[in-house]
Amino acid sequence: MRRLPWLFAVLLSLAIGPPGHAQTKAPAPARGPRFEAVTFGVRHRVFPDFRDVQRVKLNQEFPLGDTEYSARVMRYVPDFQMDLEHRRVFSLSNQPRNPAFQVVVKKNGVPHDTSWAFLKSPPHFGVRAYFAFHVLRIDFVGRAPLLADTTSTPTGMPRPAAAPATKDSASSR
């Protein structure tokens, strides 16, 4: 029984360090800019002339042209990375170095497919997807926006400009 207090004291001293030495905490990671809205260029797989531009916030549902489809931005990942072995998406940092958005497309309110939209990569169609999303602009609170590189924009894709009016502000005119 006498050894337990001694063993406890040794373990405790290992955990907190030697007397007179304060433990130092690692500095907290720098907080990234606060996301405000994203502007997408939207294309359709079947109708090559279909072009739409939408500026939306996180979790905001928006129409896809005059179709029965709508979409919602479900997730923003500032520095997109994928662990292929575990099929997991994560962010390498809090800074928007490789920003990506997970978009869920719904048909008549029912989820139809999910895809990712990137600022630095061209839009792509998933296996079941009719729509492809390309990030044209990302707006942050208190920071200059990030704009897509228009020199590599596919032919016919809308080019980013000043922040377009949201659906709400356009309908109030």
pLDDT for position 170: 45
What phi and psi, each to the nearest 5 degrees, are found at residue 112? -110, -45
CA–CA separation, 96 and 108 (whole Å): 33
Residue extents of the structural domains in the chain: 35-152
pLDDT tens digits, residue range 74-100? 999 999 999 999 999 999 999 999 999
The mean-pLDDT minimum among 81-85, 151-155, 163-167 falls in 163-167
pLDDT for position 171: 42
pLDDT for position 35: 96
- When pLDDT is cut at 50, 70 and 90, the band that residue 29 belongs to is low
Query: Above 80 in pLDDT, residue 142?
Result: yes
Average pLDDT over all residues of the chain: 80
Average pLDDT, integer, range 152-172 = 49
Could you tell me the pTM of the whole model?
0.70
DSSP notation for the chain: -THHHHHHHHHHHHHH-STT----PPPPPPPPPPEEEEEEEEEESS-TT-EEEEEE-TT-EEE-TTSSEEEEEEEEETBEEEETTTTEEEES-SS-SB-EEEEEEEETTEEEEEEEEESSS-----SS-SEEEEEEEEEETTEEEEE--GGGPPTTPPPP-SPPPPHHHHHT-
pLDDT for position 84: 92
User: What percentage of residues in the chain have a pLDDT greater than 90?
Assistant: 61
Q: Please report, for residues 83, 112, 114, 117, 130, the alpha-carbon distance to residue 127 in angstroms, rounded to integers and kept in the order given.
A: 20, 11, 10, 15, 9
CA–CA separation, 118 and 134 (whole Å): 6
Q: Please report, for residues 38, 65, 75, 79, 116, the alpha-carbon distance to residue 82 in angstroms, rounded to integers and kept in the order given.
A: 21, 31, 14, 10, 12
Query: Above 50 in pLDDT, residue 39?
Result: yes
Identify which has the larger pLDDT, 170 or 30: 30
Structure tokens at 45: 């797989």
Average pLDDT, integer, range 146-158 = 67
Identify which has the larger pLDDT, 14 or 102: 102
